[in-house]
C-alpha cells in the first residue's frame, strides 16, 4: 500500500531531534559515497495577475485581497508588496536517494512567485494561488530496492525542517561547544525552526537576539518563541545589533541582498547562512573554515537555461540587471567553500580547530535531505498509524515505460 500524508500528520510523525539525526546520518552517507543528490532545477514561465484571476474565476482587482485574506485567516503571511512585482510561474525539481535506507525522494514544486523590493532589499516571495490560499509542492518517496511508490506528502513541514536541521548539523560540528549567545536575522518559519533546531544541538544556549524589518511581526515572533522555549529571546532594532557579540550568527531571510556583514562577526563565531545571497563577501573572506552543504547542489537560478525560450521576458522581469548567469561563488575566490558537509561528517576534512576561528556553513539545498526526512517520517507514520493508505496498484503499469 502507498501512504498519503498531510502536513499535520507529517508534523506528528517526527520530532526536530529526529530530523537532525536523520540529516546527520544522510550526510555521513553522502561523505562515504553511498547517497546521492541531483541539482535543483528551476524552470520559469511568465504569468500575470490577469491570467491567474481568470483561471480562479474572480475579478483581477479582487485577487490580491482574496489571497491575502485567505492567508491571514490561516495565521500565515504574504508580503503585500509581492503583488506589485511581475509574477512568474516556476516548476522546481529536486531528487535524492540513500542506499542504507532504500529511500529515493523526488520533490516537485509548482509555484507562482515574484521578487519585490522591500525596504531596499530584493525579496523572494511565493504567491499562494491554490484554493484557500494554499501552495502546490509535493514529495514522492520511492523504494530504491523495488522502484515502487511508497508515499506522497506535501513538502511544507519537511521543507522547513530539512533546512534548519541541516543548519543545526553544521552548528553541531562547527560552533564552539560553549556557545551561549545566538543572533538571528529573520522572523519567519526558517527563523523559528532555526531556534528549535539549534537548541537540539546546543541546549545550553542562554540568549537569542532577533532582527527583522517588520517590528510588529518581530515582536510577535519573539514572544512566541520565548514562551515556547523558555530561553531569553529579545528583539533588536538592527541587523548589526543582532549579529554583534554572539557565538552563533544565523541568517534566515528571503533576501537577495547581503544583510549579514562579515565586519560584525567576532572571532570564534559560527555563521549559519540559509540563503546564499544574504551574506556579504567579508563573511567568506574572514571565515577560517567554509563548509557547503553540498557543492554540486546547483542551487542557484540558472535562468538562461530554464526560461521559456520564446518568452525571455520571464528572465528580464524576474532577475534584476546584473544577476544574469551569476553565481554567489566562483572558483579560487574568497567565496569558494573549503569543504562539503558530507566530507566533514565522514572525517575526510577538519572542521574547527581553534576557539578563535570563524566558521561558516553555507546551508544550501540538497535533494538527499528529502530522502532523509521522508524516510524517517514514513517509518514513524506507519508505526503510529498516521495517514491514509491507497492501493499501490494505482501507480503501477503493465506497459514497458
Q: What is the pLDDT along the chain (401 residues), one digit of tens a residue?
A: 999 999 999 999 999 999 999 999 999 999 999 999 988 888 888 888 889 889 988 898 888 777 777 665 455 566 777 777 788 888 989 999 999 999 999 999 999 988 777 777 677 788 888 887 788 999 999 999 999 999 999 998 999 999 999 999 999 999 999 999 999 999 999 999 999 999 999 999 999 999 999 899 999 999 999 999 999 999 999 999 999 999 999 999 978 788 999 999 999 999 999 887 899 889 988 999 999 998 754 444 444 445 555 555 555 455 554 444 344 545 445 556 678 999 999 999 999 999 999 999 999 889 999 999 999 999 999 999 999 999 999 999 888 88
State residue 205's pLDDT score: 97
State residue 389's pLDDT score: 97
Under 8 Å between Cβ of 12 and 283 = no
Give how far Cα 2 sits from Cα of 67, 147, 191, 299, 378, Å: 33, 12, 33, 30, 10
Looking up cell 543572533, which residue turns up?
183
Looking up cell 562515504, which residue turns up?
32
Q: Which residues pair with residue 114 across a beta bridge?
A: 125
Q: Which grid cell sits at 275? A: 540563503
How far apart are the C-alpha atoms of 142 and 104, rounded to whole Å?
A: 5
How far apart are the C-alpha atoms of 219 and 156, rounded to whole Å?
A: 24
How far, in whole angstroms, is CA 261 from its chain's centroid? 21
How far apart are the C-alpha atoms of 168 and 164, rounded to whole Å?
A: 6
Under 8 Å between Cβ of 1 and 387 = no
State residue 83's pLDDT score: 77
Give how far Cα 152 sits from Cα of 121, 367, 389, Å: 36, 16, 10
State residue 301's pLDDT score: 42
Helices (H), 180-251: 189-201, 215-229, 239-243
State residue 303's pLDDT score: 43
Q: Which grid cell sits at 142? A: 520511492
Please count the CA atoms within 13 angstroms of the CA of 312 that sit on its side-chain side: 2
First to last CA, the chain: 21
- Give the strand pairing for 289-292 and 232-235: unpaired
- Indicate whether this model's pTM tops 0.85: yes
Amino acid at each position: 500500500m502507498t501512504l498519503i500524508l498531510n502536513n499535520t500528520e507529517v508534523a506528528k510523525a517526527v520530532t526536530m531531534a529526529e530530523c537532525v539525526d536523520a540529516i546527520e546520518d544522510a550526510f555521513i552517507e553522502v561523505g562515504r559515497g553511498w547517497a546521492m543528490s541531483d541539482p535543483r532545477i528551476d524552470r520559469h514561465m511568465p504569468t500575470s495577475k490577469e491570467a491567474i484571476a481568470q483561471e480562479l474565476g474572480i475579478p483581477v482587482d479582487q485577487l490580491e485581497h482574496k489571497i491575502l485574506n485567505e492567508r491571514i485567516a490561516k495565521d500565515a503571511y504574504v508580503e503585500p508588496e509581492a503583488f506589485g512585482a511581475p509574477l512568474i510561474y516556476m516548476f522546481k525539481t529536486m531528487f535524492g536517494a540513500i542506499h542504507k535506507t532504500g529511500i529515493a525522494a523526488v520533490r516537485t514544486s509548482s509555484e507562482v512567485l515574484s521578487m519585490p523590493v522591500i525596504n531596499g532589499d530584493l525579496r523572494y516571495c511565493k504567491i499562494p494561488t491554490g484554493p484557500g490560499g494554499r501552495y502546490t509542492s509535493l514529495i514522492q518517496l520511492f523504494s530504491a530496492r523495488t522502484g515502487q511508490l511508497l508515499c506522497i506528502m506535501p513538502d511544507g513541514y519537511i521543507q522547513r525542517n530539512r533546512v534548519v536541521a541541516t543548519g543545526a548539523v553544521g552548528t553541531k560540528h562547527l560552533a564552539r561547544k560553549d556557545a551561549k549567545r545566538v543572533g538571528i536575522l529573520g522572523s519567519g518559519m526558517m527563523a523559528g525552526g532555526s531556534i528549535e533546531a539549534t537548541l537540539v544541538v546546543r541546549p545550553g544556549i542562554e540568549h537569542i537576539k532577533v532582527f527583522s524589518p517588520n517590528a510588529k511581526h518581530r515582536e510577535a515572533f519573539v514572544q512566541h518563541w520565548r514562551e515556547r522555549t523558555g530561553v531569553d529571546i529579545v528583539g533588536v532594532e538592527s541587523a548589526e545589533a543582532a549579529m554583534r557579540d554572539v557565538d552563533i550568527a544565523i541568517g534566515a531571510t528571503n533576501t537577495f541582498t547581503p544583510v549579514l556583514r562579515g565586519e560584525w562577526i567576532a572571532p570564534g563565531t559560527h555563521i549559519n547562512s540559509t540563503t546564499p545571497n544574504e551574506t556579504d563577501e567579508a563573511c567568506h573572506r574572514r571565515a577560517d573554515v567554509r563548509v557547503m552543504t553540498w557543492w554540486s547542489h546547483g542551487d542557484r537560478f540558472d535562468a538562461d537555461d530554464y526560461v521559456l525560450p520564446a518568452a525571455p521576458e520571464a528572465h528580464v522581469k524576474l532577475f534584476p540587471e546584473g544577476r544574469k548567469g551569476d553565481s554567489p561563488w566562483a572558483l579560487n575566490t574568497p567565496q569558494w567553500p573549503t569543504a562539503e558537509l558530507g566530507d566533514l561528517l565522514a572525517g575526510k576534512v577538519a572542521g574547527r580547530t581553534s576557539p578563535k576561528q570563524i566558521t561558516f556553513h553555507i546551508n544550501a539545498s540538497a535533494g538527499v535531505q528529502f530522502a532523509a526526512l521522508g524516510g524517517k517520517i514514513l517509518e514513524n507514520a506507519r508505526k503510529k498509524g498516521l495517514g491514509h493508505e491507497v492501493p499501490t496498484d494505482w501507480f503501477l503499469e503493465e506497459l514497458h515505460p
